[in-house]
Homo-oligomer: A and B are copies of this chain.
């Protein structure tokens, strides 16, 4: 298996040349576009890994399923669905999901920025820092890694330059979908995106979702199975931005990518996969990461279809 992974990385490394680093925040341009790592953990905790799997990077949009999970744990499915819809938008992740002077919960979903920002308001906590700390705690628990921390530089960089997200948040505010102070909500969101993880972390979080909420590390049930079905289904339809359809036909498993270069893939009941390769395609997905998952899916019959 390690051999297979090494082969795949070698085969797919050339695609890293075709992508480019995210540049919407200055900090992300400091990544090494040649980095490429993969980490797989199966239901019986067997681990396979290759390449730069120990490299740390910011979680970015891969935090969205964790945010959704916490929103579900805090509020239940009905409440979350009433605030943030479940349909693919047909538009880029940072689009203004709004039309004809209306903004309805049906127009957004938990995997686009507007939906993710709205979900921050659903997390329990006295302050937005409390909310973020609870999210960080859950991330650590899902990954079975108490050392996960936030990247201060990236957080500050996001906060300084995140004007598109500010525009989205003020629009949410205008239409009553944010009640609190917009900068407080955004602070929580920018912190969430700046959580630092490795391929191993993503693979383990993926495994917990693949195991429908039961930690394979502690035996503990972290969340009810129904929330895993909810999160995984949404990842299938909207997890890879406006490339989700392409990913579904090529790879066929729920997954979430982030502009930091990470991808978390979930093979229900079977395994969690973490990939890192920061060169992105035009939709914001790790270009070599997707190619690797495509090869892996074919070799290991991963598609759930």
Question: Least Cβ distance of A282 to chain B in Å?
Answer: 11
Q: How far is the CA of A305 from the CA of B229 in the complex (A)?
A: 5
The 8 Å CB contact of A85, one of B164, B245, B304, is: B245
Number of interface residues of A (CB under 8 A): 50
Main SS at interface, chain A: helix
Q: How far is the CA of A230 from the CA of B164 in the complex (A)?
A: 32
Question: Least Cβ distance of A253 to chain B in Å?
Answer: 10
B305 close to A249 (CB less than 8 A): no
Is A156 on the interface with B (CB-CB < 8 A)? no
In the bound complex, residues from chain B placing their C-beta under 8 Å from that of A228 are: 305
Which among A166, A167, A232, A238 has the highest number of chain B CB atoms within 10 Å? A167
Question: Least Cβ distance of A236 to chain B in Å?
Answer: 6
Q: How far is the CA of A87 from the CA of B169 in the complex (A)?
A: 26
Q: Mark contacts of A145-182 with chain B using CB atoms, 8 A cut-off: 1 yes-contact digit, 0 otherwise.
A: 00000000000000000011011111101100000001
Q: Mark contacts of A260-282 with chain B using CB atoms, 8 A cut-off: 1 yes-contact digit, 0 otherwise.
A: 00000000100000000000000
A interface, CB within 8 angstroms of B:
77, 81, 85-92, 95-96, 98-101, 109, 163-164, 166-171, 173-174, 182, 228-230, 232-234, 236-238, 242-246, 248-249, 252, 254, 268, 303-305
